[in-house]
């Protein structure tokens, strides 16, 4: 049986939380923010160790907290607590795109860092755009972990996006019980996530 860790002493990790900020109650949103805050508190948040970003998304997405914007855990947690629900529908593709071209841009992330994205959603269904951007992120070595809340999220889609690295919970209050799972996933190594295997060379043409 796998053992989960509650604290991570490893550095060189870039961690991004993708939060579904579509319409939901204030209490449900508070549970999501508590999860992010508690996960971040399990790492050494500073410019030379672990940097944490937050992307909120609904119909569109925005990088609410960029990597390195807050250089200590206390200021990061305070900023997370000030984030609000956007409202509207849920469009994960926009969040993945912001992650790929902005938050985890090649000129932003540190060389050799492990890139980890944590997706928290209660509304999800796959489309070709989501699959395409998720595939681009995986090809860059980004490790993704998903948390599906309630049965409205398509877990088959989340499984596809995260390469089967996800968990489903019944209520938002259950999210905080998953902190150690998320921390353990992000803390597996100080290096980047394994790169996909190269495609085999084409067979020589018959003469």
126's tokens: 């796959």
pLDDT tens, residue by residue, 136-177: 999 999 999 999 997 777 899 999 999 999 999 999 999 999
How many domains in the chain?
Answer: 1
Domain assignment present for 129: yes
Domain assignment present for 115: yes
180's tokens: 């150690």
Tell the burial category of 204 from Cβ atoms under 10 Å away from its Cβ (0-12, 13-18, 19+). Answer: exposed
Give the distance, in angstroms, between the CA of residue 74 and the centroid of all CA atoms in the same chain: 21
Domain assignment present for 45: yes
Q: Is residue 4 within 8 Å of residue 183, measured between CB atoms?
A: yes
Of the listed ranges 44-58, 76-90, 144-158, the one predicted with least confidence: 144-158
CATH of the domain at 32: 3.40.50.410
Question: Closest Cα to residue 179, out of 55, 34, 67, 65?
Answer: 34
Domain assignment present for 170: yes
CA-to-CA distance for 159 and 194, rounded, in angstroms? Answer: 18
128's tokens: 């070709």
Whole-prediction pTM value? 0.88
103's tokens: 């938050």
Q: Is residue 114 pLDDT above 60, yes or no? A: yes
- The whole-chain average pLDDT of the chain stands at 89
Domain assignment present for 51: yes
Range of the domain at 115: 13-186
Question: Closest Cα to residue 12, out of 102, 111, 103?
Answer: 111
Domain assignment present for 119: yes
Domain assignment present for 157: yes
pLDDT at position 125 is 86
Domain assignment present for 49: yes
Higher pLDDT, 56 or 203: 56
SS3 assignment, position 51: strand
Q: What does the DSSP 8-state code read for residue 192?
A: P
């Amino acid at each position: 049986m796998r053992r989960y860790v509650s604290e991570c002493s490893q550095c060189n990790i870039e961690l991004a939380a993708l939060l579904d900020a579509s319409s939901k109650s204030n209490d449900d949103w508070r549970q999501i923010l508590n999860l992010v805050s508690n996960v971040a508190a399990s790492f050494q948040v500073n410019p030379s160790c672990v940097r944490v970003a937050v992307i909120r998304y609904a119909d569109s997405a925005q990088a609410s907290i960029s990597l390195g914007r807050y250089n200590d855990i206390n200021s990061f947690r305070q900023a997370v607590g000030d984030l609000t629900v956007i409202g509207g529908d849920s469009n994960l593709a926009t969040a993945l795109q912001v992650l790929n071209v902005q938050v985890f841009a090649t000129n932003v992330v540190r060389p050799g860092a492990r890139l980890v994205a944590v997706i928290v959603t209660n509304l999800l269904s796959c489309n070709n755009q989501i699959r395409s951007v998720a595939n681009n992120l995986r090809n860059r070595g980004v490790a993704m972990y998903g948390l599906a809340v309630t049965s409205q999220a398509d877990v088959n889609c989340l499984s596809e996006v995260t390469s089967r690295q996800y968990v489903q919970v019944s209520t938002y209050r259950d999210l905080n019980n998953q902190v150690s799972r998320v921390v353990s996933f992000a803390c597996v190594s100080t290096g980047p996530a394994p790169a996909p295997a190269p495609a085999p060379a084409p067979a020589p043409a018959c003469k």
